Structure 1
Amino acid sequence: MAKQIEGVYEKVYECAKTEFLSKGFKDASLRTIALAAGTSTSSIYTRFHSKEGLFQAIVAPVVEEFKDWFLEVQESFHQRDADYQKKNVFRYSGTGAEQFVEYIYKHYDVFKLLLECAEGTEFSDFLNELVEIEMDYTVKYMDCTGDDVISNGNISPEFLHIVTSAYYSGIFEMVRHNMKKEDGMQYAKQLREFYYAGFAKIYQWES
Structure 2
Amino acid sequence: MRTIDTKTTENILKYASLEFMEKNFLGGNIRDIAKKCNVSSHTIYTRFGNKEGLFTALVKEKADEFLNLYNNLHNNADVHADYQLYQEEITDNEVKNKDYYYKANEATDKVLDFLLKNRDSFKLLFCKSEGTEYATYLDKITEIEEKNYMKLFDFSSKKISKSKQFFLHKLAQESSRDLYEIISNDMKKEEAKEFIELEKRFRMSGWKNLLKELKNV
Please list, as runs of the form range in 1=range in 2, the aligned pairs for 1:38-53 lying within 5 A after superposition: 38-53=38-53
Alpha-carbon RMSD: 2.5
SS at match of 2:5: coil
Contact 2:182 2:192 in 1 (8 A): yes
TM-score, normalised with respect to structure 2: 0.81
Q: Is the alpha carbon distance of 1:52 and 1:177 closer, same or farther for their aligned partners in structure 2, counting shifts above 3 Å?
A: same
The residue number in structure 2 matching 1:121 is 132
Contact preservation (8 Å) 2:149, 2:168: no
Q: Identity over aligned residues, as a percent?
A: 25
Q: 1:189 aligns with which of 189, 197, 204?
A: 197
1:137 is matched with which residue? 148
Distance across 1 between alignment mates of 2:187 and 2:172: 22
Determine if contact 1:77/1:85 at 8 Å carries over to the other structure.
no
Rounded to whole Å, the distance in 1 between the matches of 2:116 and 2:186 is 11
Check the 8 A contact 1:101/1:188 in 2, yes or no.
Answer: no
Moved more, 126-135 or 164-173: 164-173
Once the two structures are superposed, the pairs formed by residues 25-104 of structure 1 within 5 Å of their partners are 25-77=25-77, 82=80, 86=84, 90-104=101-115
- The answer to whether the aligner puts 1:177 opposite 2:185 as a matched pair is yes
Rounded to whole Å, the distance in 2 between the matches of 1:112 and 1:84 is 31
Choose between structure 1 and 2: higher helix proportion: 2
Structure 1's unaligned 5+ residue stretches are: none
Provide the TM-score with structure 1 as the length reference: 0.84
Deviations, residues 74-93 of structure 1 (Å, cap 9, x unaligned)? 22236x8x468745665543
Deviations along 1:24-62, one digit per CA (max 9) or x if unpaired, are 101100111111122221111111111000000011101
Specify the SS of the correspondent of 1:77.
coil
Give the conservation status (yes or no) of the 8 Å contact 2:145–2:175.
Answer: no
Structure 2: tracts of 5 or more residues without a match: 86-98, 213-217
